[in-house]
Chain A
Amino acid sequence: MALITVSSPHTTRKGNHTGAFMRQVLYATLPGIAVLTWLFGYGTLINLSFAVIVALLTEALVLKIRGRDIRFYLSDYSAVITAVLLAIAIPPTSPWWLTLVGVTFAIVIAKQLYGGLGMNPFNPAMVGYVLLLISFPAEMTRWVAPNEAHSFSTSLQLFFGHIGDVDALTGATPLDTWRTWAGNAEQLASHPILHGNVAGMGWEWVNLAFLLGGLYLIARGIITWHIPAGVLAGVLAMALPFWLIDDIRYGDPLFHLFSGATMLGAFFIATDPVSAATSRNGRLIFGFLIGVLVWVIRTFGGYPDAMAFAVLLLNLSAPTIDYYTQPRTYGHKAAKRGARK
């Protein structure tokens, strides 16, 4: 009789599987994806499906080259998540090659070359996004005006690169509009896109949907509240005082919270565990600084939205934040702070 001899503990929580965690994250993106499709047409869905296929194929390829068990590593769903997040973040009008380049770069360079899941210092989806934003700024800012959702055929045409009359098909986002007209009260008042029910028109719904998904993740214990709360608090902490000082130049807090990628970033991107800070206080700080940076770049930087840059910058600082935010261990008088060796 062969008895199993292993180290304790001898039991683990039912359903302990990284893949299960990741699947929950995917489920939580569904409301957001639905709203994006409703507002902007099928472009998002088409790109998303393509991105997932590309991600799985490249990941499998690299795993094969690295001599790893392909099925085992694909089952952690991390590649799928990267693909989905990237596909959500890029405009629905994106042609296939944009998605292809972004996803391949994210999977191969930003993740696998660093050693695969768990080893990547940067959020792969955001690395892919920033690459695209810098290399193809025109394509990456070609959003659709809300409520003018493209038909399936238009979306497909766009996907295959038949741009046609671009201007007729696209419109500026609320953040773009604000950036252009900040400080000009008349112009700001005359753009309907800035005047939705909560914040910028259309995008308020996108953000609400991602907020909903994020709350689901917190409720399921997939993520903790620290990073999202930090991000939102960071945005708020910057937006509110400036808005109180000059509401013509600076957008109001609600506008910032419910525009662009705020909620997506707070709940789905900044919370990528691999590249975020891990201690509780560390996560709060990590999130808060992302929020601050988002506002700063949106207001003073050269890009209308800033989530990707903010997240990557803080990814860079995560190990340091972790180092200085160790909790106080039981039986110790004070928490250890990094400086000592």
Chain B
Amino acid sequence: MNSPLTIKSPLAKSAKSAKNSRPIFDFHGGIHPPENKVQSNSTPIQTLALPPLLILPLNMHIGAPAKPIVNIGDRVLKGQKLADANGVVSVPVHAPTSGTITAIGPRAVQHPSGLDAPCIVLQPDGEDRWTERHPIHNWRECSPSTLITRIREAGVAGMGGAGFPSAVKVNLKQGTQIQQLVLNAVECEPYITADDLLMRERADDIVRGIHILQHLIKPHETLIGIEDNKPLAIAAMRAAIENAEKNNGGSIEVVVVPTKYPSGGEKQLIQLLTGKEVPSSGIPAQVGVVCQNIGTALAMYRAIAFGEPLISRITTITGDAVKQPGNVEVLIGTPVSHLLNHAGVSDDKLGRLIMGGPMMGFTLHALDIPVVKTSNCVIAASKEELPEPATEQPCIRCGSCAEVCPADLLPQQLYWYSKTSDLERAQQYNLMDCIECGACAYVCPSNIPLVQYYRFAKGEVRHQVAEQNKADKARERFEARQARIDKELAEKEARRQARLEASRQKALGQVDAKADASNNIDIKAIKAASLAASSAYKAAVKALKTAQAEEADASEVAALSAQVDQLKAAADQAKAAVRDAASAPTSSSGGASDTAAATQSDIHMKALKSAALEASSAYKTAVKAMKTAEENGDGNVAELRAHADTLKSTADAAKAAVRDANTGTAMPAPTSTIDPVETLKKAVLDASSAYKAAVKSVKEAELSDADNLAELRSEADVLKRKADQLKVDLRDAKAAAPNVVKESTTTEAATATQEHAPNTADPIAERAAKMKALKTAYNSANKIWKEANAALERGIREGAENIDERRAKVDLLKARAEGTRAELNELVDQAKAGIRASGSDLKSLKLEAARAESALGSKIKELEEAKKSADEERINVLYQERDMLKREAELAANALKSAVDEQGLSDV
């Protein structure tokens, strides 16, 4: 299909100006509908009287609607900004003339759904007074970013068709090399002559606009594609280019393409001029091409050289129902009725009103719909000219549609699968590559409104994809929550263990009270800091993953991963500090000197401080990430905010820990005995306030209907649990502080601990724990692999470049997941063998579980009774014993469960 094709149109032969020096690469299919251009291209561009009212839709472009920054009743000047861009893919809206804002609200706009959309209504005051303008004369010396900002601020959006924000298009990724800048002046749709007239009358300014574009994107060559049915425009452009090139060297080439619909489609034009194909669901820049409409180039020139925002455009008004068809320069926001009156509409003839061309335009359902930035044509057609569509007949699979499809699709198959809503098959036949050009429907002998079916099916597909994404996200959140809860439980267990250990040692009188107390502060504080550091690290990892999944900039990802490494180091350090601190009591128990303890706490201090620093810097990064996300209009702002909040509270906790530790070391030893209680109190307060904050954010999320509600809720749950745990700690600490434990109870406790020790050390239980850990590890590894694989597939679909590299990574991940799985399986086998070898069977396990359960029950009873009569110490000891038994019962139950699972072909 890519073979060069010499033009054989009569025009090319007759007009010497239409000769090309380069080959044209024809595209598949295409049609030749009657052109109907002569009606409107014989008169010069006219100007229009000020309309009585201007209606400015907030969304005249592709992307997020602009945000109004004026109020009803405000007096505004011509060119003043009325609404600001909302995110990157969005453009502002400006006042086309001076006047008063009379309304901000929904109005009828050009939209296939026929629904109203938010608009700003401006009543002109007739003075047409400009706001202050800031021309940039020396734009050649300006950096691209300055100019791009100006283009964006001037509200320039693609004026040819879709209205994509132009600043986004010319803002190339770092390192993108553009070979061809393609200017689209094809205007292949019948009836439309706006670009034709624009080129004939304003060629010089267009060429200046093109120079700006060249300055911005530095292409190797610049090509203007014009259909051979516009000889005057071709001549005008060639003259203007010649004229301009006398002054400077930039080379621009006019390439004449044969008249055929839809050669003005962006993808088709790129193929015609360069022979390149834009990858499916990719953008032209991926093949080194940037394509802009010439009207857009002109708008850019006005924006930079005159400081004028985009407030008017050339629109063709034509059709049998108007007496004076032609082209007019209209203010954006002008109601179509005003335009029609100008052209002399006869109401009784008017049958169909189309904005855009007859092939891809939209019918208007009302006369007061405004002209927008993309409105290149208004066709007021009589009923004879564009009659009611003929009745649809069955598809006879004649294949005419496939012959003309420029995307080389099989429209009849797409039709069939769209009609039967077999979306999967329709996508297999590349439904999403349909450009909705309507060529197929134009030739279909059965008069099937094919495009209508495709639009419907595409909408369904998009809907499905959105739903799927939602479901995936929910699943991820659920899994993350599960992992978090597991981790929380494990931590709780560890803390309880530590507490028991400490109290046992204390009770045995082997520990110097002072040292223990001061160390205690440190351990608590350090633990908190360590937790903070590790949670910061996890948050960073998550952020990194999100960034990778969303294929953010390489630099961003790199920064994030650097941050992750840093945080990991910090977390490790903090953990080491915790370990050191935990081992300190044992060393001092041998009667170590106070100095040693002091040095120890000094080191802890440092660790604490650095942990606090890390935590607060993590918090700051999170805030920054949140802001960026807000600017980009990302959906996960709420989530990020919640993250930031959590990080803030951890940072605060860490800071508080540092402060406490400071006071702890500074204070004399006897006083410090009280300190653990104080610290804990503080921690409890912190935790409960964090919990409250989380609850609040959940409420906010509920109000704003955020989609990460579930996650926020679970976060709040976790915080609540933390707070509860701290409360328990506080109680324990309070109990421990008096430090007058009776000998007898202590021995009891110790015996209990010793008695249960073998249970804890039981290799089977250990293995069970390991198996659980492996299972979790496998799940997460598997998930990561799947995600990576999905990302890879997406990449392949979108034709990303470093596929091989990514594939290798995915393979690695897969291997890792499989490795874990294998290890897990091995353990399971071992466990099975173990069970068989040890002869321990289900029955004994059951017995064991029942025994533990009943021991726990009786202990609880004892505790209840003790509460009534016994003293505090006894109650405390009983509490501890109960906890021990509880754990034992849990272990037994777990062992039983895993044995059951195993026998019934477990879910591992």
Contact = CB atoms under 8 A, between A and B. Distances in A.
B390 A16 contact: yes
A10 B428 contact: no
Interface string A324-340: 00111111110010001
Contacts of A276: 397
Interface string B397-418: 1110011001111101100000
Contacts of A331: 267, 277-282, 407, 433
A329 B441 contact: no
A11 interface: yes
A37 interface: no
B799 interface: yes
B585 interface: no
Interface string B20-32: 0000000110010
Interface in B426-446: 428-430, 433, 436, 438, 441-446
A280 B433 CA distance: 19
A279 B433 CA distance: 17
B352 interface: yes
Given A279-B410, A331-B278, A3 B351 contact: yes
Contact of A4 (B361, B362, B363, B406): B363
A117 interface: yes
Interface residues of A, number: 44
B840 to A, nearest CB: 48
A164 interface: no
Contacts of B391: 72
B350 interface: yes
Contacts of A16: 390, 443-447
A6 B449 contact: yes
A10 B378 CA distance: 13
A80 to B, nearest CB: 14
Contacts of A17: 390, 393, 445, 447
A20 interface: yes
Contact of A11 (B33, B362, B451): B33
Contacts of A224: 399, 403
Interface in B243-282: 267, 271, 277-282
A190 interface: no
B410 to A, nearest CB: 6
B315 to A, nearest CB: 17
A197 interface: no
**Most B CB atoms within 10 A — which of A9, A18, A332?**
A9
A273 B455 CA distance: 26
B444 A326 contact: no
Nearest to B348: A1
Contact of A7 (B281, B350, B364, B452): B452
B388 interface: yes
A273 B433 contact: no
B625 interface: no
B495 to A, nearest CB: 51
A283 B412 CA distance: 15
B449 A7 contact: yes
A329 to B, nearest CB: 4
A18 B446 contact: yes
B399 A278 contact: yes
A8 B397 contact: no
A12 B398 contact: no
B406 A330 contact: yes
A327 to B, nearest CB: 5
Interface in A191-227: 224
B389 interface: yes
B351 A118 contact: no
Interface string A105-143: 000000000001111000000000000000000000000
A327 B413 CA distance: 12
Contacts of B428: 336, 340-341
Contact of A8 (B360, B406, B446): B360
Contact of A332 (B114, B413, B433, B452): B433
Interface residues of B, number: 74
A72 B381 CA distance: 28
B353 A3 contact: yes
Given A21-B445, A278-B397, A330 B350 contact: no
Nearest to B436: A8
B289 interface: no
A297 B742 CA distance: 107
A252 interface: no
Contacts of A322: 410, 413
B394 A329 contact: no
Given A18-B393, A21-B445, A330-B407, A278 B402 contact: yes
Contact of A326 (B31, B386, B429): B429
Interface in B138-179: none
Interface in A244-288: 273-274, 276, 278-280, 283
A326 to B, nearest CB: 6
Given A17-B447, A329-B280, A7 B190 contact: no
A34 B204 CA distance: 67
A8 B402 contact: no
B295 interface: no
Nearest to B429: A326
A330 B27 CA distance: 9
A16 B404 CA distance: 15
A96 to B, nearest CB: 30
**Most B CB atoms within 10 A — which of A5, A117, A276?**
A5
Given A4-B363, A118-B397, A273-B397, A333 B799 contact: yes
B395 interface: yes
Contacts of A7: 112, 449, 451-452, 455
A176 interface: no
Contacts of A3: 350-353, 363-366
**Most A CB atoms within 10 A — which of B282, B362, B366?**
B362
Interface string B649-693: 000000000000000000000000000000000000000000000
B793 to A, nearest CB: 12
B893 to A, nearest CB: 45
Interface string B435-470: 010100111111101011001000000000000000
Contacts of A12: 389-390, 441-444, 447
A319 B581 CA distance: 75
B359 interface: yes
Contact of A76 (B277, B360, B379, B393): B393
B441 A5 contact: no
A9 B442 contact: yes
B443 A118 contact: no
A327 B408 contact: yes
Contacts of B190: 11
B350 A1 contact: yes
Contacts of B438: 8-9
A261 to B, nearest CB: 22
A20 B444 CA distance: 12
B358 interface: yes
B445 A18 contact: yes
Contacts of A326: 410, 429
B267 A11 contact: no
Interface string B832-861: 000000000000000000000000000000
A8 B393 contact: no
Nearest to A318: B397
**Most B CB atoms within 10 A — which of A283, A332, A341?**
A332
Contacts of A21: 396, 398, 445
Contacts of A5: 114, 363-365
A3 B437 CA distance: 23
Interface in B341-379: 347, 350-354, 356, 358-366, 379
9 contacts: A7-B452, A9-B360, A10-B358, A10-B386, A11-B359, A72-B391, A118-B394, A322-B413, A341-B424
Interface of A: 1, 3-13, 16-18, 20-21, 72, 76, 78, 116-119, 224, 273-274, 276, 278-280, 283, 322, 326-333, 336, 340-341
- 3 nearest CB pairs, A to B: A9-B438, A118-B394, A7-B452
